[in-house]
């Protein structure tokens, strides 16, 4: 069975600090996808990134970066120079890549608060 | 391009009643998934519809049922509402399935907040 663990329930940092959100996953599949979503107070899940299990290259997009390590089953998310607009709940999710099994398995989320 | 829309935004029902939630998928998307998000939790997969047929179901009882129409919009029906059904219900659409290359991520709607009293 798939499982995603986000051990950090809540994190607060002062604006401009860097912050890393942790994600650990479990799956028996060799082919899978990992995601990060942002959920602002409005409730809509905003897609941030997708990685497949064969691509362990780290990715950087502006102030956001992701570190995928298959050896430790982790997919951590770092925000550099945090801003107040980054305040939200962030979810890590896992999906098998098999036809007919499409569900996203989410972690319980990390509530990030950026203090001005 | 219109994104995923859901209606209603908020809904209050009493225990035992039935409810229908609606979702319009993004233009060009033929796959719709429904998720339940209880307060303080991550979304839980309910089921998915692909070209009007159910294509996978999570661990939810049969009183949760769905439908997808020829225009790929979808409904989620919940019978015999229970207090624990109070949650944010999210709909997500995608232009294909994970088994089809390239995989397309799911685009989420704003959700319907259901309160059961």
Report pLDDT digits (tens) over B32-61.
Answer: 999 999 999 999 999 999 888 998 889 999
Tell me if B41 and A108 make a contact (CB, 8 A cut-off). yes
| pLDDT tens, position by position, A57-74 | 888 889 999 999 999 999
Q: Which residue of A has its CA nearest to B98?
A: A97
Tell me if A45 and B108 make a contact (CB, 8 A cut-off). yes
A70 lies within 8 A of chain B by CB: no
Q: Higher pLDDT residue, A91 or B98?
A: A91
Rounded CA separation B103/B86 (Å):
32
Q: What is chain A's mean pLDDT, rounded?
A: 91
Strands of chain A (E only): list them: 3-5, 10-14, 19-21, 24-26, 32-39, 46-52, 59-61, 64-69, 74-79, 88-96, 104-106, 110-115
Q: CB under 8 Å to B13, separation ≥6 — which residues? A: B19, B81, B114, B115, B116, B117
């Amino acid at each position: 069975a798939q499982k995603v663990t986000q051990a950090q329930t809540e994190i607060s940092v002062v604006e401009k600090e860097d912050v890393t959100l942790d994600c650990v996953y479990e799956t028996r599949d060799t082919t899978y996808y990992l995601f990060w979503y942002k959920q602002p107070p409005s409730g809509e899940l905003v897609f941030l990134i997708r990685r497949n299990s064969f691509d362990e290259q780290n990715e950087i997009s502006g102030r956001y970066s992701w570190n995928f390590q298959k050896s430790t089953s982790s997919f951590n998310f770092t925000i550099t120079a945090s801003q107040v607009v980054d305040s939200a709940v962030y979810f890590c999710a896992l999906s098998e890549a098999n036809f007919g099994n499409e569900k996203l398995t989410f972690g319980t989320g990390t509530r990030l608060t950026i203090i001005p | 391009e219109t994104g995923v829309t859901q209606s209603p935004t908020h809904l209050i029902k009493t225990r035992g009643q039935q409810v229908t939630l609606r979702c319009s998928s993004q233009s060009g998307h033929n796959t719709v998934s429904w998720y339940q998000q209880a307060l303080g939790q991550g979304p839980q997969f309910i089921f998915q519809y692909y070209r009007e047929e159910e294509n996978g179901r999570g661990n939810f009882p049969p009183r949760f049922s769905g439908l997808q129409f020829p225009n790929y919009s979808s409904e989620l029906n919940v019978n015999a509402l229970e207090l624990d059904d109070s949650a944010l219900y999210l709909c997500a659409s995608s232009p294909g399935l994970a088994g089809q290359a390239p995989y397309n991520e799911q685009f989420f709607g704003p959700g319907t907040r259901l309160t059961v009293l």
